[in-house]
Amino acid sequence: MKLFKLILLCLFLFSNAYANTIYELIKIPHLEIYNIKTENKLRYLYAKQPFTIGVDNNINCFNSTKKDLEKKYLIIEKNLSRYPKDFLKKINLKYIVLCEDLSISGIGTAGIPDNVMKTLIVDIKFNKKYFERVLHHEVFHIINDSYREIFNEKIWSSFNPLGFNYAECSTCTKKIGLDTYLKTNGFITEYSRSTASEDMAEVFSHLMYGNLPEEIDPILKKKIEFIKRGISKIDKNFIL
Amino acid sequence: MIEKIKASTSEKIIFIFILILGLFSLTSFLLIKDRCLFVKNYDPEKIKFEDPSNIAILNVGCGNVIIELYPEISPNGVERFKTLIKSKSYDDVAFHRVIKDKLVQAGDLEFGKKGNIDYGKIGTGKSGLGSINSEIDKEFDFSKGSVGLARTQQYDTEDSQFFIILQDEPLYEGEFTPIGKVIYGIKVLEKIKYLDKSEYVLRPDFINSLRLFN
């Protein structure tokens, strides 16, 4: 029996079905297929072992338990299935990598989008309260990276109150609160104030998740229209 | 006077054993040396095809590989493949990238020709006909034997290089342009030379010829 268990363990440890193909396609090691038979052709992959990628190996993520994966996959799939296949093709998103404790240069993050590799890495253990909305936030970064000219940051920034300036980068500020403001005043969350791109992603994610504040100020109204117009330029059939 | 010494029974047994061992070693050596042994060489003339106009015969060291092309799935890809076959451009071109039990790749017309191989650039060569667009929208089952056009990291960079997969690769769907499938002779491809430590093969095997059946 012990021998049988040992053989089984060896098979589990050394099986690398599709791991090489996945690496060849998206340059992330230690991944396996979770599910690729989805309606919108998104391919869900999971970390079988921790992996390290990026410039100077600054991106790290760890493998999850089967139970956690099963639980979170349902939530992720439910949310991402709202993006049709054609839309996903236009924005360059195809692979969803599921792992936990995702960090970039030591800073924890919900997701890392890479429109060149058509990949979104998702931390399945990220903040439970905002998990679903944050998925759409990360999808927006893919959209934004693919269509910089549509989501022009200068035009976007011109909507803001006079004298307002964003931070140098999304991690250069302590404004990281994700609670939706009751009184918006041009911004939907505290994190919206970090950078123009994060501001756009926050508006988009609220639109997708359907939890816009009850009262919307004129600046936020302009921002919402801007996002909706931009998305319809990419795909007129994708209605926000 | 020289006395004739008779071999004892045990000596005779040892002699016979050594003889058998020698014969066995020689046979094994010859068998191992002939890597094409037990590989069936299909004669396309003896096979009835549904659509002979979309059959290509790839001839390599161990025999014929018969490929059915799918113009309805990737019209431009198949057209490019046929154009290059008709001009005999693939003859004497190396299988420059071979991964054991995974894939074989050939078709670098610029740097992969026999007698003119450039190991520093092989895999980056072009046909001179320009790139064609990827045709990846139609559903296709990338099962063992599927033939696809190779590309760079970017889409729409397909040209003359093609690969044949030696195992199922479901993730290739939507990534690569499928142009056909091997219907006979996949074992021939499993005998193509590969290296254990590198995907790119030094002193590779070559395509003898690639022809359309009709």
* Top-confidence residue, A194 or A177: A194
Among chain A residues, CA nearest to B176 = A25
Residue A14: which pLDDT band, with cuts at 50, 70 and 90? very low
- The pair phi, psi for residue A92, each rounded to 5°, is 70, 50
Query: CA-CA distance, A113 to A115, in Å (whole number)?
Result: 6
Do A22 and B171 make contact, defined as CB atoms within 8 angstroms?
A: yes
* pLDDT the model gives residue A47: 97
Say whether pLDDT at A9 is over 50: no
Contact yes or no for B177/B77 (Cβ under 8 A): yes
H helical segments located in chain B = 9-33, 75-86, 186-190
Which residues from chain A sit within 8 angstroms of residue B169, using beta carbons?
18, 21
Question: Which of B171, B174, B175 comes nearest A18 by C-beta?
Answer: B171
Question: Which of A20, A36, A94 comes nearest B170 by C-beta?
Answer: A36
Alpha-carbon Rg of chain A, whole angstroms?
19
- Letter for the amino acid at A50? P
- Residue A161 to chain B, least CA–CA distance (Å): 41
pLDDT tens for the 214 residues of chain B, in order:
667 778 888 888 999 999 999 998 888 777 667 789 889 999 999 999 999 999 999 999 999 999 999 999 999 999 999 999 999 999 999 999 999 999 999 999 999 999 999 999 999 999 999 999 999 999 999 999 999 999 998 899 999 999 999 999 999 999 999 999 999 999 999 999 999 999 999 999 999 999 999 8
Average pLDDT across chain A, whole number:
90
The HSE-up count of residue A90 (CA atoms within 13 Å, CB side) is 17
pLDDT tens digits for range A29-53: 999 999 999 999 999 999 999 999 9
Do A36 and B174 make contact, defined as CB atoms within 8 angstroms?
A: no
> Positive or negative, the Cα torsion across B28, B33, B39, B45?
negative
* Top-confidence residue, A172 or A224: A224
Residue whose entry in the numeric block shows the structure tokens 């450039």: B118
- Letter for the amino acid at A26? I
Residue A215's CB is within 10 A of a number of other CB atoms, namely 10
Query: CA-CA distance, B175 to B153, in Å (whole number)?
Result: 10
Say whether pLDDT at A7 is over 60: no
- Letter for the amino acid at B158? E
- Residue B208 to chain A, least CA–CA distance (Å): 29
* pLDDT the model gives residue B7: 80
* pLDDT the model gives residue A33: 96
* Top-confidence residue, B214 or A28: A28
Summarize the confidence of residues A1-25 as an average pLDDT.
61
Residue A237: which pLDDT band, with cuts at 50, 70 and 90? very high
% of chain A exceeding 70 in pLDDT: 91
Summarize the confidence of residues A194-213 as an average pLDDT.
95
pLDDT tens digits for range A161-183: 999 999 877 666 676 788 888 88
Query: CA-CA distance, B100 to A151, in Å (whole number)?
Result: 46
